[in-house]
Structure formats: structure tokens, C-alpha cells
Amino acid sequence: MERVRQDLYKVEFIVAQGEGNRLLHSYLTGKKHLSAKALGRLKNQGSVLVNDLPVPLKSTIREGDRIVLIYPPEAKNPYLAPEELPIKIIYEDQDILVLDKQAGVCVHPTKHYPRGTLANGVLFHWERNKDNSTPHIVNRLDKDTTGLVLLAKSTYGAQQFFRQQRDGAIKRSYLALVLGEVQDDSGCIDLPIAREDKPTARRMISKDGKPSITHYRVEERLPGHTLLAVRLETGRTHQIRVHLSHLGYPILGDFIYGGDTALLNRQFLHAFRLAFNHPVNQKEMEFTSELPKELADVLTKIKN
């Protein structure tokens, strides 16, 4: 048996009934959705074991075979340093991490926010627990948007989640409080989004933009406001904020896109539901997050 370092990332599969009598390469690219690039990296820098023995990718596998993929260590990001920061962990195993992000925190370092991000806090958490994982952020939230964030802990998991995103298998739902009373009980906004020409983070509706689809449903109508449940079909920067503002219903507190800030000085947008398939065992997983007290208090004020 080949000796394996304990800090290397491993993925194990048992070839199921009806999946044998095929080439290992075909099994990994077809059933397990590995890219040719990933397989090449495994072959040249990692290991592929079948029943504890290294074998060529052109080998034939049988039902019941145990396949182990051993990935080489990932290069560390020199711009991402561990920092002791408060992070709220909803779920974690050896492959994934689900967090509940607070407002005012960037998900990853940027030019204007090089430190103090969610990724910095996650790295500290892993170093403290002697976990050699590398953060791969699957769904990004704006700095002042709260709620659920999903991270893969390896290149394998990140690739599996990328495929799920492409196929629409990752479901993301938000609560948004908008100005104005939305008349339709539900609707779909299908308008392309592009970056504005001037040097700014703002986005706009443009025929030259990327396809962007947002679904919404009225949760509650309040005096001068509407609470919406919003589901993303695509994931463009500021997508919900741009789409709702374009309809004439800017999100409360979103000053960039026309939202009033008298009651709240950041957008009332909360990622409350996240559903996906586990990247290794394919188990269906779903997580929810309660509305933060700050936003719940705003709802109470408006109702009263």
C-alpha cells in the first residue's frame, strides 16, 4: 500500500453496481465529473489508487473497487493571512464549510479591504484546528449583505460545486425589503447586467451585459414597502439590487441603487436559504438562516 501524508486531501469512491467494466479515466470524467486538467494534475502531482494500489488511468475498474484520489498540496495565497475574527459556523465536515455572514464584512480580500474578511477568519479557524484546507468560496455576498456562504475545502469540491452552479443545482434564496408596494404576487426578471463604464462598482441593465435571471415572490406587504423572497437563477454582481431597482423597487437602505437610508444604512438583503448536493457523497443538503435582529427590528418599526 502506498503511504499517504495525513495533510493531503483525499476523496474515496466505491464503484457501484452497474458502474464497473469501464476505464478508470472514463469513470472519473463521466461519473465523477473530473476535468481533464484535474486528472492531469492528479496523475503528475498526486495519486490515483484502486484497492490501495497505484494504477494507470487506462485500467479497467470493477464493481466494488475502492478508488482513492490523493491531491497534491495547494499553493497558499500570499495575500490571504489568518486573522482571529468572529465567524459563525453553521456546518463543517472535511469537504465543505457553511457560514452565516454578518453585515460589514467582505467575503474575501479586495483592493479596498485587504484584511478582516471572512476568508481571513476561516483560515485562522483552520490553522487553529490543524486543518490544512484551502478556502474556495462558492457563493459570494456583498459586504453589507448577510446570510449563508458556502466554501469548498479543496479543488475537487470547488470543481464539483462549479458544475452544480452551471447546472442550476445550487439553490440560493434571499429576503429583500423593497420600497413601494409590489403589485404582482410573483415574477421573473430576465434582464442582462453589465458594469457601468465609469470607474465604479455599480452595475446596470444593458443589452450588452451578461444574462441575468431573478425570481421573486411577495412574502408580505407592509405600509410603503414589500418583503420579497428572491431566488437567483444566475449570480451576477449586485444582481438582485440592480434588477429590483430597475423595476422601480429599490431595496431599503441600498443608497447605491436608490434605496432610502432613513431606517437602515445598508441594504435589507439576507441570504436565508442555501441548498446543494454534497460534492463527495452527493447527499442533498439544505441550510437556513434567521433574519438578523437589526433587520427584524426594521420590519417591526414599519409594521407599527
- Residues with catalytic annotation? 142
CB 241 within 8 A of CB 234: no
Q: How far apart are the first and last CA of the chain?
A: 69
Phi, psi of 151 (to 5 degrees): -125, 140
Residue 29 makes CB contacts below 8 A (sequence gap 6+) with 35, 36, 39
- Cβ-count burial 259-284 (b if 16+ within 10 Å, e if not): beeeebebbbbbbbbbebbebbeeee
Paired residues of 217 in beta bridges: 186, 229
d(CA 118, CA 108): 6
Grid-cell match 487506462, residue found: 58
Length in residues, the chain:
304
CA 221 to chain CA centroid, Å, is: 30
C-alpha cell belonging to residue 98: 457553511
